[in-house]
Amino acid sequence: MKIFVGIKQVPDTETKIKLLPNAAGVDLTGVKFVVNPYDEFAIEEAVKIKEKNPGTQVFAITLGPKQRVSEVLRTALAMGCDEGVVVNSNSELDNLGVAKALAAAIKTEGGCDLLLLGKLAIDDNGSSVGPMIAELLGAPHISVVSKLELTGTTAKVERDIEGGAKEIFEVPLPCVLTANKGLNMPRYASLPGIMKAKKKVLKEYEAETLAAGVCKSKATAFTLPDDKTAVKMIAGDAGAQAQELARMLRDEAKVL
C-alpha cells in the first residue's frame, strides 16, 4: 500500500501574533514553526498502518518555502515516514492553489491508496484543502476522523460532528481522510530516526510549474482582535459576588 501524508508547517500555538506594517499580513520573523498539531495525528496513523502492513510506503508531502518547510518533512521522516516531498512555493496561495499543487505532485508521484491530512491547519483555520484534493484526485473523502479501521481495501471510519455525536462511514480505498484529535497518540521521533531523517534526500517540485496562476481568492486587510475594555472586578464575599455578577449580567451587559 502507498500512503501520502499532507503536512503543513505552522507557527507554534504559543506564538503571539504580530502584523506586518500596512496590515499586509502576519509578521513571521522570529516565529518558531512546528508541524500542524492535527497533521501529527495523520503522520502517526500512517506509520501505524505501515507497521501493521509490511510493504507499505509512506510519503510525507508539504508546500511552502522549501528551506523552511522541509523541517516538517524531517520530523515526519523521523517519526517513521519513508519519503519526503516538498513543493516549493514562495508566494501566498489560496486553498484551491495549494490543493491543486499538492494534487498534481501526488499524481506525478503515481497517486496513492490513502491520503491522510489534519482536519484543519491552526494558522489559517481553513479545513478546506483535504476535501479539495480529494475532489481533484477523484477519490472519496471523510473529514474529522477520530477512528480508522482498515480491512483489505475498505476503511471504516468515525467522523466527529456537532455535540459529540459521530457518523460512522465505510469507504473504499483509494480515499482521503482528515484526522481529528483522538485518532491516536502521536509518537516522539527516536534519536536514530532523527539521524536517518537528516540524511534523507527530499524530492522537490515547484508549485509554479505544477499549478500556475490558479488562486481565486486573496486575503487582505489583516487585523488583530479589538482590545477588550478593562475587566470589572467584583469584590465581596462569595454570596455578594454572585449576586452582583448576576445583576450586572442582566442590567448592564444585558445578556441574561
Partner 1 sequence: MSKLIVFCEHQNQNLKRSSIELLQFGKSKNFEVVGVVLGAEGQKAAEQATANGASEVLFFNDVKLNGYNPELYLAALEAGIKQSGARHVLAPASSAGKDVFPRLAARLDSSIASDCVALTVEGDTLIAKKPLYAGKAFAQVNLKDSPVQIVLMRANQLPVATAGSANPGAVKIVALPAVDLKAILKEVVKGASEKLDLTEANVIVSGGRGLKEAGNFKMLEDMANVLGATVGASRAVVDSGWVSHSMQVGQTGKTVAPTLYIAVGISGAIQHLAGMTGSKVIVAINNDPNAPIFQKATYGIVGDLFEIVPKLTEEFKKLLHK
The reply to whether 206 sits near partner 1 by the rule CB under 8 A is: no
Round to whole Å and give the CA distance between 37 and 6: 12
Interface residue with partner 1 among 9, 16, 34, 211 (CB under 8 A) is 16
Least separation in angstroms between residue 41's CB and partner 1 is 11
Residue 99 touching partner 1 (CB under 8 A): yes
Residue 149 lies near partner 1 (rule: CB under 8 A): no
Question: Which 30-69 residues touch partner 1, going by CB under 8 A?
Answer: 37-38
Q: Is 110 in the site for partner 1 (CB under 8 A)?
A: no
Cα dihedral 234, 236, 239, 242, rounded to 10, equals 0
- Residue 156, Cβ neighbours under 10 Å: how many? 13
Count CA atoms within 13 Å of residue 34 on its CB side: 13
d(CA 202, CA 151): 31
Strand-pair partners of 88: 64, 206
- The stretch near partner 1 (CB under 8 A) out of 59-67, 71-79, 187-195, 238-246 is 238-246
DSSP 8-state code for residue 91: S
Q: Is residue 111 at the binding interface for partner 1, with CB under 8 A as the rule? A: no
The window from 53-61, 68-76, 126-134, 204-212 that contacts partner 1 (CB under 8 A) reads 126-134
Residue given cell 478593562 in the structure block? 230
- Number of residues binding to partner 1, judged by CB under 8 A: 86
Burial class for 197, CB neighbours closer than 10 Å (0-12, 13-18, 19+) = buried
Q: Which stretch binds partner 1 (CB under 8 A): 11-19, 109-117, 186-194, 200-208?
A: 11-19
> Site mask, partner 1, residues 69-98, x = CB under 8 A?
-------------------------xxx--
SS3 193: helix
Closer to partner 1 by Cβ: residue 171 or 189: 171
Q: Does 209 bind partner 1 (CB under 8 A)?
A: no
The three three-digit cell numbers of residue 106, written as one number: 501526488
Instruction: Compute the residue count for the chain.
Output: 256
What is the contact mask toward partner 1 in residues 155 to 194, using x (rule: CB under 8 A)?
-x-xxxxxxxxxxxxxxx--x----xxx------------
